Amino acid sequence: MTEDSARDAFKSPRIEQIESFTGNDLAELCDLATDAIIDGDGFLWVKPPPLRILENYWNGVLLVPERALFLARLDGRIAGTAQLLRPSVNNESGAFAAQITTFIIAPWARRHGLARELMQQLQQVAKARNFTTLDLDVRADRTAAIRMFEALGFERWGVKQRYARIHGRYIGGYYYSKCLDTGDASS
């Protein structure tokens, strides 16, 4: 590999599933979550928790067998993340469906196609793992994410008026599903 191609590979977006943290991954993931919370993405928190809490959360994600953690890198830095959650083993009747959760793209990394690339990767992995349905939910005020989900073929099947409460105000949310066994899961 030439120096130029190595530099281009470093700068190009990369999506990967990880099973352990290496290098600066945990610190960058905590920074990503903090930035997303401050930006209003929520990530379940309204205000950033102490660093130790975030570290415990991400370390815990890697311990849960039903969770697969995906990282999106841009310019070599963690710029996004999502989890693919499969049903627990005792949920035989729902074993066909996986869920996308904690989908975040860093504010500084938006508009580079990273969100779409991450979603396409998650769909391909879900399909390869024999899931026939992929579910997700999203706050109603996340309009860019909603447009992308709908453009990728996710169908809204539910609305919850009190999906989140932020600074004393309720925000609605939407529930989506996509059938993976009726066409191309990458679109």
**Tell me, what's the pLDDT at 42?**
64
Q: What is the mean pLDDT of residues 154-168?
A: 95
* Structure-token match 């928790």, residue found: 49
Q: At a CB cut-off of 8 Å and minimum separation 6, what does 107 contact?
A: 35, 36, 39
> pLDDT band at residue 184, thresholds of 50, 70 and 90?
low
Burial 103-130, CB ≥16 within 10 A → b, else e: bbbbeebeebebbebbbbbbbebbbeee
Greater confidence (84 vs 39) lies with 84
| pLDDT tops 80 at residue 12 | no
Instruction: Express each pLDDT in 94-105 by its tens digit.
Output: 999 999 999 999
Task: Look up residue 21 and give its amino acid.
Answer: F
pLDDT of 185 over the 90 cut = no
pLDDT of residue 10 exceeding 80: no
Using 50, 70 and 90 to split pLDDT, how confident is the model at 61? very high
Q: What is the mean pLDDT of the chain?
A: 90
Residue 139 reports pLDDT greater than 90:
yes
pLDDT at 20: 96
Q: Which tens digits make up the pLDDT trace of 163-179? A: 999 889 999 999 999 99
Return the pLDDT at 8: 47
Delineate the domains of the chain, giving CATH numbers in brackets: 3-179 (3.40.630.30)
